[in-house]
Structures are given as structure tokens and as C-alpha cells.
Structure 1
């Protein structure tokens, strides 16, 4: 009886194969579902990494998020940081050079004498001078006088020779005057002595050092120094004529140009220089030229 019962309860071969096939199909559906879920998860994460945070509140930009970054050690973190820009060193801002269009070509023809005065500087023959500025050219007479005084008082100027001195005066007896005038007026004053300044350059006539306001205000395209240095060159050059110096040429390529060189016409290999002497009292000379 047991044998008969076991026979009746045993599944037929057909039914057994059907159940096995159903189990295999169920397992395949489960595996497919899990795989699909994993794929969707990966796609979602990738989309987030590529597109980034649409509302801009994320901690990094899209590019940074698109690149997986492995954990970094403290030393490598320091290496990955962008270098900080160094704090710029403050540098003085030079005063802008007025354009030639700011130059008044023709002043009023009258002059204002600067009221500034000062003590004598240098040894030997002391020459008294005053400063005058033509009216209507936009240059302050007092400021011009103080600058001329500072130039002639500088240890690199003509007092370094130990034979010449200067004293700024505003009245009384004077040996010469420094006149700052418009190009038209300079041409007229210098032309009276037979000099052709062409509205461009300065001259020394009689008791007058005549400074072209165009050069005073704009410097020279040949001179690479500051405008203040070029003003020093004007004064040193013309006053140099007054105390007996003639024109000099370039002493050699790369050397400083003498103050008595006509640097506005070209440097011939020399370097721009405004002063007749070095700070150590050495005269900056060149070959004599007409």
C-alpha cells in the first residue's frame, strides 16, 4: 500500500517539467527587473552629474561634477588648489603728459613774473634769476618757478662744478630770466636773434632762457624719462649755455647723453639723461659739436 500511495502522489513527468519551466521563467523575470533597476539608477546618477544643479545651489559647477575626483590626501589637496594671485606692489602713478592738442600755440604776449624767491645755492659766481610765464598758456608761474629752482638746486645740476651758484628772485636786479612761452612767442623772441625754433624748441637769447611751453608740457618723443626729467634737461641745457658750455655729442653707445647734447634731434645710441653731473659729482661729457 505504501508503494501504491507513493506512486499516486508522485508528479507525472510532464507536470514536473512544466513546474521547472515556470520556476526558470520567474527567476529570469526577477533578474531582469533587478538589472533594469540598476541600469535606471546608474542613468539617473549620470544625468545628474552631467547636467548639474539646475537651480545653481550646488556646491560645484557642472564641469567639476562631471569628473569623478578620488579622495585626496592633505598634501595632494594643497597641490590641487589654484595658486593665489600675489598682492600687487603699489607703484606711483606718473602724472599724465598733456597731449599736443592741449598746448596753446599763441599766448597773449604778456608775462607774469613769479613772486617766488629763494636762497642762493652753489659756490663761486652766484647768478640771480627770475621766472616769467606768458599769460594765457595755462601754466602757473609760481609752480614753474619752484620747479626751476629745484632743478638748479639739485646736486646733479651745475652747482656740482663748485664754480657756479644760483638764486631765485622775484624783483630787483637779476642776471637772467627763465621765460616759459607759447611756441609762437618763442619763435618771435628767438627769431629776433636770428634763431629758427620752428615752434618746437627752446633758445638762450640775451638775458633770456626761453622755454617752449610745448616742450614743457609734453616733453620730447626722443626722451624716455619722465616729464619732470625733461624739464630738468631744458633748464640744464639752456643755463649751461649761459655759463659757457657749448653743444656736445654722444660719447658712446649705451652711455648717458650729456645735458649739453641736443637730445631732441636723436640720441645716436646714447641713453636719455637730464643732468650734467652724476650723483657722485662726475661730469657727463661728450665730444664737442657745433
Structure 2
């Protein structure tokens, strides 16, 4: 029974590469989803995932299906959009989510237009939904480097990121510009991981793997370390089960993974002990 469950990964190298890529991405992108959730910026991840599309499209038009060119273009444009959105929200009375929405819609339209100039419908689908089962060694190396760098930076700046998310005025006491620098660092990590994710899940599906495990983890945990660990576990399990489901049911791999994460999301919303509608274990309020 166990052999049949993992038969696809045992027999085919492309399935093993796809699994390793998803596990590595889950390890780095789901903690970022937790921080986005705590910052009340859940939809910002969706906006930035579309914002990288023009840069990816420019890299594609200039160098073809070059991972380095598309990745560099996506990172530059995504970070530019994030910084411009923050600048607009600080210099006008518009909230940050409104400026993100404006840039996100413009970026999506521009990216699709650029790809359509020289590409085909297949190329556009590849950029929007990824090609998980076509992951090669260079893509694995690219994702592994980004995941490793993200974990190192998160470990190094964990306390600062937590403080900026919960108590930014405290950091302003130490330095006026420190909260902005930490916020820019966080947005840079976010864009970097979205660029890594577009190669395997596309710009539309990557945000699903980022946010759904994070929201599910919040329904079960109230402490940040547990929330981060649980989000990573849910992301990895979703990747494994989604790949198996896609193999045996002949489904697109990326959407199957996101749908599996959606299942965990609904179960958590219904039965989560912290935020669930029908919590499996009711919390007992301490008596004074």
C-alpha cells in the first residue's frame, strides 16, 4: 500500500524533482504568509504575485525561457511595484491595499500584453500557472538558493520582523527609518519567493501555497513559533498529497496542490481550536 502511494516518486525522476521543489518552496514561502497574515496584508501577496509578471515577461521577450533573466526581471519589477505602492500610500490618503490593487491590476494587464506580443497562448499559460512537472536541475538550484537565503534572513531578523509587525512605534523610538528598512526587507523576501514560485506554480498559484497554509495554521495555533511550524507542515503535506492526486487523477499539478491546501483551510476554519467555527477542543477561560 505504501509502495503504491509513492510509486510515482519512486519510478519517475521528474516527480521527485517536482516534490523537492515544492517542499523547498513551502519551507520558505509559508512563514512569509504567516507574517503577511499578522500584518493584515494577506491580499498584498496576491497583488505582488501579479506584479512580477511584467518583469518576467520582459525577461522572456529579451532572452526567451531563461530562468535567470525572467527571475531577475520579476524581482526588479516586483520590488519596484512594492516600493511604489508604499510610497503612494504614505504620500497620499489612500490606504496601502488600494495602491497595491491599482498597481496589481496594471501590472497584470501589462504582463499579459507583453507576453502576447511575441509569445503564444502556451507561453502565457506557463507564466500564469507554471510547469511544475517540467522542473529541471537549474530550477531546483534556483529555488533551493532562494529558500535557503530566506530562512537565513528570517532567522537573523526574526525579532525585528516580529517587533515591526506588532509594535512598529517601538522601533521608531530607536531609529526613525528602521521600520521602513525592515518593511522593505520583508517585501524583498516576499518578491524573491514569488519569483521562485512562478517557475513551478506560476504567478497565479504561488500565492495559494503561501497564504492557505498560513491561514489554516492560524486557526490552530495562537503562538507565533507554533504557527510558523504548522504552516510549513501544512504546506509540505499539501504539496505531497496534491502531487499524488494530480498523478493518479491526471490533474494539473499546481492547482491540485492549491486545492489540497484549500481542503486544509476549510477543515481548519471549521474545527480549528483557536479560530474555528466548531472548535474540536473548547478553550477554557481562566477563572480569577
**TM-score > 0.5, shorter chain as reference:** no
Instruction: Name whichever structure is richer in helix by fraction.
Output: 2
Q: Which has the larger radius of gyration?
A: 1
More RCO (CA 8 Å, sep 6+): 2
Q: Which has the higher strand share?
A: 1
TM-score with structure 1 length normalisation? Answer: 0.22
